[in-house]
A and B are shown apart, each in its own frame.
Chain A
Amino acid sequence: MTDTVHILLVDDDPAEYLIMGGIMKKVTSAEIHLHFCETIEAALAFIQSGKPASVILMDNRLQPQCDFRETVPALRQQGFIGPIGVISSSLADPYFQKFEDYGADFRIDKAELDPTAIEFILREYVTKT
């Protein structure tokens, strides 16, 4: 029997939702329900509503100016204690070295997010918790 996993993607680009949805469909180890929020406010409301989220994938930069140093602590303040991964098209900025200080669990480049990486993340953060 395949486990059901709820992943919340927070990204200001709806195209990423389509791309991510395609990747998630190729994951065979779990039945993934991908939820999507375009803004941090919508993500906070999602958590507050009590809807399930096993993992949150948070785009580093949300327009107009937020990056994960503001958004991840906001999710934690809302009481979310599940894993949060920061996704970005570039992890080169030095502040990424401090991601754990801001309450994030891991970081991953958008280009590295393939079905194998998703399965690894689920093994590491979902099946063990």
Chain B
Amino acid sequence: MANLLTNHRRYHLDSDLEKALNRVDFFRIFHTMSLRHGFDHFGILQLGNEGDACMLSHRLVLHDLPSGLAEEYDKRHRFGDSVVFKTLHRSVIPSIWKADDPHLGNGSNLLAQLGFDMLICVPVTGINGARYAVLFLGDCEEIAKPAHFELCYDALCAFDYFYRLVLSNKAGLGLTPRETEILRWISHGKTASEIALIVSVSEHTVNSHTATILKKLDVVNRTQMVAKAIREQIIQ
């Protein structure tokens, strides 16, 4: 990635991180990382404010949990009451939790409620200060100190790339040629499926580019997007 120096990239110069482009690439990276360290699943959690009402399924920005698990959890429990969630707001030290941990309590034992034996939380931060945590869940019994340190470092680095490439608000950044092309077709009144046919990509890709354009132009809908693009002479 262009804006990182080799000082930052000591262990990742040739890694998948340098080549990652989209959410599937980061899914592959975190999923592999989780399996490599003996865990079954990972999740990247947006922390937000402790006092806000929150649901686990809404806070997970990327995960490989079994489909429907987080939604089932939310039907039965309040994620905001869990000890794990609360402690993530009190410290940024990476933590290890086990299902039989007495600190977890009865009604707020996230691990027992999700059906796993072990959880590692790695608190991380986006470059703008937004707080997240990378979670690793599994049924392993223990993790050695060097492996724990390595996992924390790997998670921190992968999240940094993920944040900058996928999660960050790109307001003010220039549009790519493909984004400008899609913006032009939107201004001509074409739908996402029509644009997909015209530019030979999937409808999903068109929607994804549209979402990025909204972010970059700092606007809230397609009408405002086109108005601002004309005003700023991005399109005629």
Contact = CB atoms under 8 A, between A and B. Distances in A.
Given A97-B21, A108-B24, A112-B31, A29 B202 contact: no
Interface of B: 19, 21-25, 27-28, 31-32, 41, 64, 66-68, 178, 193, 196-197, 200-205, 207
Contact of A121 (B24, B41, B68, B193): B24
In the complex, the 8 A-B pairs of residues with the closest C-beta atoms, listed nearest first: A29-B67, A106-B24, A76-B200, A81-B196, A81-B203, A103-B200, A103-B201, A83-B202
Contact of A76 (B21, B25, B28, B201): B201
8 contacts: A91-B19, A97-B19, A103-B202, A105-B24, A107-B24, A108-B28, A122-B67, A129-B207
A21 B204 CA distance: 25
Determine chain B's interface SS by DSSP, over half rule.
helix
A9 B23 CA distance: 22
B41 to A, nearest CB: 8
Contact of B200 (A77, A99, A122): A77
Given A112-B32, A117-B28, A81 B67 contact: no
A124 interface: yes
A106 to B, nearest CB: 4
Interface in A74-90: 76-77, 79, 81-85
Give the bracket for the number of chain A residues in contact with chain B: 35 or more
A117 B64 CA distance: 8
A83 B204 contact: yes
A125 interface: yes
B24 A82 contact: no
A100 B205 contact: yes
A129 B66 contact: no
Contacts, number: 82
A120 B27 contact: yes
Given A97-B19, A100-B21, A119-B67, A84 B27 contact: no
B101 to A, nearest CB: 26
A84 B21 contact: no
A128 interface: yes
Nearest to B27: A120
A108 B31 CA distance: 12
A25 interface: no
B202 A81 contact: yes
B201 A117 contact: no
A116 to B, nearest CB: 5
Contacts of B178: 100-101
Interface in A6-49: 28-29
Contact of A124 (B19, B21, B24, B193): B24
Nearest to B22: A106
Given A105-B202, A120-B24, 20 more contacts: A76-B200, A76-B201, A81-B203, A82-B202, A84-B202, A97-B19, A97-B21, A105-B24, A105-B201, A106-B22, A106-B25, A108-B24, A116-B41, A117-B28, A117-B64, A119-B67, A120-B64, A122-B67, A129-B204, A129-B207
Given A81-B196, A119-B67, A129 B203 contact: yes
Given A100-B205, A103-B202, A129-B204, A81 B197 contact: yes
B204 A109 contact: no
